[in-house]
Amino acid sequence: MTDKSIVKTNKDHGGKEFTSSCHFVGKVKPVRNQENGTDNWVDVPYYREETDDNGKIKKILEFIIETAESNDLKVKLSGREMPFVYPYSSSKKKSVKLSWEDRFDKAKYPDDTYHYIDSEWDKIDKFKELIYTDAWIEVKGKHNPYEFTDERDNEIKGVSRIPSYINPIIDGKVKIGDELRAIQVNKVDIPYICDLKSPDFVEVNNFKMQIGIRSTYADKEKGMTNVNGVFLTYGKTSSEPKNVHLIVYQQEASEGKKPLADAFESLDEFDFIEVTGQDNNRATFTWLPIKEKLDDNDPFADVDESNKQVSYEKVTNGAKKGLEITGYVAGSLIREYLTEAELVKSVSTTQEDPLKTENKKDPFDDNAHPIDFSDDDLPF
């Protein structure tokens, strides 16, 4: 039976609050935006400051981390000064309220067990020193789903990537403080190569996210199952739901096993599950043979094909975007865990809905090798 304590609850109003985490390693390059009223694209500064209508300064750090050839993920962090901070004591399991100006004054802390967790404002000052073109870095943080309506009344959904930690990569190892350590994925050391084109390159790009299910549907033509989920976040009086869209690509399973995409297709509205996967914003490639062009009078025009060595060229054949589910946390499925009130804009199903099923059997029971990693992988 699934332990429902894996979901955090708000101490004030009891609402559920879901968690997410992400881990990327790659090369830095600038975000590029189109200039207003022109066809020109320009590099956005890695760090900048803006002033709001109240004269308050906001610091902004944003950049692209290329986790694999042509997989460009935008990472952004912004921060303002705050009236108060809340240093925390892990041994006493409580926090203390201090004024912003006193956050670095240890004399104002109750005792040495209390520690100030850097605000976004202070994190940016540290992170910006590590962000420059072609720098290799490790990013650990979280995804924050968002949605908005554009000028054409189209509903846009996506996720922002918010860094909690950024560390430099030196000779394939992550530098934490003065120590060089092996990069770990699922608690396993990996031999990382700082060369996106190397045949031995291993991409480090993974995420974990708790989601509720709104609906799922299979797109047989594209060979994937779409998962329309909800991510519950902090709210003052109740949890705030944010829509999030994820994809499970159809892949053949071992004999006697169920494909992961089919298992997700069978989930119902209000179900809960914790998923793992990778973050895509990449071009996809294929290798095509280079056709030989010979004149009729070329001495090699009639040479037997078995005597020719064919050359190949790498060409773009499409794109892959969005959060791709590649696994799930074993034992995390909770049927009918959410309520319609928690979803607010709950998805109605009809009798014709092919996604609705009365079978409450765990669809992941016969899946081989579910991916599972714990929060110990992340230092936050």
Q: Write down the pLDDT at residue 154.
A: 85
Please state, rounded to an integer, the average pLDDT across all residues of the chain.
Answer: 86
Taking a C-beta distance cutoff of 8 angstroms, is the pair 258, 273 a contact?
A: no
Q: What mean pLDDT is predicted for residues 126-132?
A: 98
Q: Write down the pLDDT at residue 110.
A: 96
What is the 3 state secondary structure string of the chain? CCCHHHCEECCCCCCEECCEEEEEEEEEECCEEECCCCCCEEECCCEEEEECCCCCEEEEEEEEEEEECCEEEEEEEEEECCCEECCEECCCCEECCEEHHHCCCHHHCCCCCEECCCCHHHHHHHHHHHCCCCCEEEEEEEEEEEEEECCCCCEEEEEEEEEEEEEEEECCEEEECCEEEEEEECCEEECCCCCCCCCCCCCEEEEEEEEEEEEEEEECCCCEEEEEEEEEECCCCCCEEEEEEEEEECCCCCCCCCCHHHHHHCCCCCCEEEEEEEEEEEEEEEEEECCCCCCCCCCCCCCCHHHCCCCEEEEEEEEEEEEEEEEECCCCCECCCCCHHHHCCCCCCCCCCCCCCCCCCCCCCCCCCCCCCCHHHCCC
Q: Write down the pLDDT at residue 311.
A: 73
- The string of pLDDT tens digits covering residues 261-304 is 999 999 999 999 999 999 999 976 666 677 777 676 777 667 76
pLDDT at 348 over 70: no
Q: Write down the pLDDT at residue 350.
A: 30
Q: Write down the pLDDT at residue 344.
A: 72
Q: What mean pLDDT is predicted for residues 330-348?
A: 81
- The string of pLDDT tens digits covering residues 159-183 is 999 999 999 999 999 999 999 999 9
Q: What mean pLDDT is predicted for residues 322-336?
A: 96
Distance CA 233, CA 17 (A): 5
Q: Write down the pLDDT at residue 318.
A: 62
More confident residue, 61 or 148: 61
Q: How confident is the model at residue 77 (pLDDT cuts 50, 70, 90)?
A: very high
Q: What percent of the chain has pLDDT over 90?
A: 67
pLDDT at 346 over 70: no
Q: Write down the pLDDT at residue 345.
A: 47
Q: Write down the pLDDT at residue 369.
A: 33
pLDDT at 349 over 60: no
Distance CA 180, CA 173 (A): 6
More confident residue, 61 or 360: 61
pLDDT at 368 over 90: no
Q: How confident is the model at residue 250 (pLDDT cuts 50, 70, 90)?
A: very high
Q: Write down the pLDDT at residue 138.
A: 99
Q: Write down the pLDDT at residue 4.
A: 63
Q: Write down the pLDDT at residue 363.
A: 53
pLDDT at 316 over 90: no
Distance CA 88, CA 141 (A): 20
